[in-house]
Copies of this chain bind each other. A is one copy, B any other.
């Protein structure tokens, strides 16, 4: 314990991987064999409160070590920082990291380096919420509009959204917030489930899980598509028969198509009333998404889990390219950049339905959507958080789904903290989960 102000004294990183490819959980047309992984970072202070900030970048296996190396590169920027000052203004660290000119060359603001910055910033927000003794959604919902504004980097946004626009949105978001918070605590936030629809599952398993999803209270399910058109028609027919006409079925192509193919394939699925087509083409193709949207309406277009930063989200909104914005907690520059994304979405009136699943993404994004409901957009209409029933048992405060809704977290922090024994078992390649695998492969 230190007698002076607590400082960041350690930045521990871990290459954590789960061997999910063994069961084809998470299989889709682009990602046949993911091993869900976390490039994990833990910020320790010398305070006597025992609190640490946890964050991670999500990857799907190979390269997770490079992602960890990118986080390691940020250690010198963190060590020695005053913990209270850091938590009072995470944007200062964001500016330092995003603005480092030499590191910026490696992006800018995209890919491995940007995800590393996002992991570190999310760890800071976890620490900030823990120190404040509240869940992150509550910290954000209770914050003053002027302070929230100070946490957003408006660079490259002002042709679409000015700080004055944003302040107005945040002030309006405060109206009625207490009432919405009460509703949130009682009912939770709507969820949809992707668990039935992985491409590696057979039709029987798909139908059974789809029926189960409806019985569990979900109003929407999602199916992976894009590998084989005839299979997709059959699978969507199967799912529609299983859930009936009143349940929304989203379909997700995981970037498999060029624009013309996306239009033709989506139209072929139209008879089974898909609610949205997700990632029909490259996440970089703003104009392509806009073209697909024009040509497949009234089927909605959704994207975002691979959108690299706020500049691309801005353009997707400016171009009228999406009906549904799927932010991801761990791909962009942390909570700070996601505040910008939520503000952009609110400004354009486009609903946010976050991407989740993977490792811990459900745990993180719930906080962003709940803040948005209580104190920004003020509505859950046409809004849902993705839910996938994988790997939650490894978290200290896993999500709780009740009657198709995410229950509002009450524990302080960002729900990002893995159990110590889960970390130990899944360190790659030496942890028990992988040592056993290697043994099995060589014997």
Binding site for B on A (CB under 8 A): 30-35, 59-63, 65-67, 69-70, 73, 100-115, 154-159, 255, 258-260, 281-288, 291, 306, 308-309, 311-312, 314-315, 318-319
Contacts and interface: CB of A to CB of B under 8 A. Distances in A.
A73 B69 contact: no
A105 B59 contact: yes
A259 B154 CA distance: 12
A30 B103 CA distance: 12
Given A69-B65, A319-B287, A112 B108 contact: no
Nearest to A315: B287
Contact of A159 (B30, B34, B106, B291): B291
Contacts of A100: 62
Q: Give the secondary structure class of A's interface.
A: loop
B287 A286 contact: yes
**Those 9 A-B pairs whose CB atoms lie nearest each other, nearest first:** A111-B111, A159-B259, A112-B112, A61-B102, A62-B102, A284-B311, A156-B282, A158-B258, A60-B105
Given A62-B73, A155-B258, A285-B311, A111 B107 contact: yes
A32 B69 CA distance: 25
Contacts of A67: 106
A43 to B, nearest CB: 20
Most buried by B among A35, A282, A308: A282
A159 B100 CA distance: 37
A67 B157 CA distance: 29
Nearest to A157: B258
B70 A63 contact: yes
A438 to B, nearest CB: 16
A362 B63 CA distance: 30
16 contacts: A30-B104, A60-B105, A62-B73, A62-B102, A63-B70, A63-B113, A66-B112, A108-B283, A110-B284, A112-B113, A156-B281, A158-B259, A159-B288, A284-B315, A285-B314, A286-B315
B66 A106 contact: yes
A108 B255 contact: yes
Contacts of A314: 285
A286 B308 CA distance: 14
Given A30-B101, A108-B306, 13 more contacts: A33-B101, A35-B102, A59-B105, A61-B105, A63-B105, A67-B106, A107-B111, A156-B258, A156-B281, A158-B260, A284-B309, A284-B311, A286-B287
A159 B258 contact: yes
A121 to B, nearest CB: 17
A210 to B, nearest CB: 25
Contacts of A281: 156
A157 B261 CA distance: 12
A288 to B, nearest CB: 6
B66 A66 contact: yes
Contacts of A63: 70, 73, 102-103, 105-106, 113
B105 A31 contact: yes
Nearest to A28: B101
Given A31-B105, A111-B113, A306-B108, A285 B156 contact: yes
Nearest to A29: B101
Contact of A111 (B34, B112, B154, B291): B112
A111 B57 CA distance: 15
A159 to B, nearest CB: 4
A66 B61 CA distance: 17
Nearest to A292: B159
Contacts of A258: 154-159
A311 B311 CA distance: 16
Contacts of A308: 110-111, 284
A305 to B, nearest CB: 10
A115 B111 CA distance: 11
Contacts of A286: 286-287, 315
